[in-house]
Amino acid sequence: MADLDDIKEGKDFGLDNPARNEPFFLKGSNALDWGMQNRLARIFNPESGRTVMLAFDHGYFQGPTTGIERMDLAIPPLIPHADVLMCTRGALRSCISPTANKPIVLRSSAGQSILSELSNELVAVDIEDAIRLNAAAITAQVYIGAEYEHKSIANVVKLIDTGSRYGIPTLAVTGVGADMVRDARYFGLATRIAAEIGAHYVKSYFIEEGFEKVVAGCPVPIVIAGGKKLPEGEALDMAYRAVDQGASGVDMGRNIFQSDCPVAMIQAVGAVVHRNVGTDKALQMYHDLKSDMGM
Ligand code: R5P
Report d(CA 92, CA 104) in Å as an integer. 9
User: pLDDT for 202-240, tens place per residue?
Assistant: 999 999 999 999 999 999 999 999 999 999 999 999 999
User: pLDDT for 94-149, tens place per residue?
Assistant: 999 999 999 999 999 999 999 999 999 999 999 999 999 999 999 999 999 999 99
Which residue's CA is the closest to the ligand 1 atom numbered 6?
A: 55
- Dist. CA 119 → ligand 1 center (Å): 15
- What is the number of alpha carbons within 13 Å of residue 270 lying toward its C-beta? 17
At residue 1, the pLDDT reads: 63
Mean pLDDT of the chain: 96
Residue 121 beta carbon below 6 angstroms from any ligand 1 atom: no
Q: Which of the two residues, 180 and 60, has the higher pLDDT score?
A: 60
Residue in 151, 158, 203, 228 annotated catalytic: 203
Residue 84 beta carbon below 6 angstroms from any ligand 1 atom: no
Q: Dihedrals φ, ψ of 35, to 5°? A: -65, -40
Q: Are 85 and 96 in contact (CB under 8 A)?
A: yes
User: pLDDT for 274-289, tens place per residue?
Assistant: 999 999 999 999 999 9
Report d(CA 286, CA 233) in Å as an integer. 9
Q: Are 245 and 212 in contact (CB under 8 A)?
A: yes
Residue 27, Cβ neighbours under 10 Å: how many? 17
Tell me the mean pLDDT in the region 54-65: 97
Tell me the mean pLDDT in the region 252-277: 98
Position 164 pLDDT exceeds 90: yes
Report d(CA 95, CA 87) in Å as an integer. 10
pTM: 0.96
- Dist. CA 287 → ligand 1 center (Å): 24
Known catalytic residue at 203? yes
Residue 252 beta carbon below 6 angstroms from any ligand 1 atom: yes
- Dist. CA 178 → ligand 1 center (Å): 15
Question: How far lies 235's CA from each of 7, 16, 93, 199, in Å?
Answer: 62, 51, 30, 26
Beta bridge partners of 109: 123
Tell me the mean pLDDT in the region 178-185: 87
Ligand 1 atom with the shortest distance to the CA of 56 = 6
Ligand 1 atom with the shortest distance to the CA of 60 = 2
CB under 8 A, 24+ apart: contacts of 43-46: 43/83, 43/84, 43/103, 43/105, 43/136, 43/137, 43/169, 43/201, 44/83, 44/221, 44/248, 44/249, 45/83, 45/274
Position 5 pLDDT exceeds 90: no
For the residues of 71-115, what is the DSSP string, one character each? Answer: HHHHSGGGGGG-SEEEE-HHHHHHHS-GGG---EEEE-EE---TT
Residue 216, Cβ neighbours under 10 Å: how many? 13
The proportion of the chain whose per-residue pLDDT surpasses 90, expressed as a percent, equals 94
At residue 2, the pLDDT reads: 67
Q: Which of 53, 56, 57 to mutate to test the pocket of ligand 1 (most atoms within 8 A of CB)?
A: 57
